[in-house]
Amino acid sequence: MKQIAVQRDDNVIVAPLAEEILQKGDVLIVIGHNADLNRFEEKGV
């Protein structure tokens, strides 16, 4: 699974660096196999 972007308010950060700190309200945009996405969702990450 890959994180490809972070939506923050009206901004989209494409290909965020590893140093990017997630903030409350950020929306992660990810791609991956269904099984990986389901595990990610189940963990409430």
pLDDT for the residue numbered 45: 61
pTM across the whole model = 0.75
Q: Which residue, 32, 19, 24, 40, is CA-closest to 8?
A: 24
Predicted confidence (pLDDT) per residue in 1-45, tens digit: 787 999 999 999 999 999 999 999 999 999 999 999 898 888 876
pLDDT for the residue numbered 40: 85
pLDDT for the residue numbered 3: 79
pLDDT for the residue numbered 27: 95
Q: Are 27 and 6 in contact (CB under 8 A)?
A: yes
pLDDT for the residue numbered 44: 75
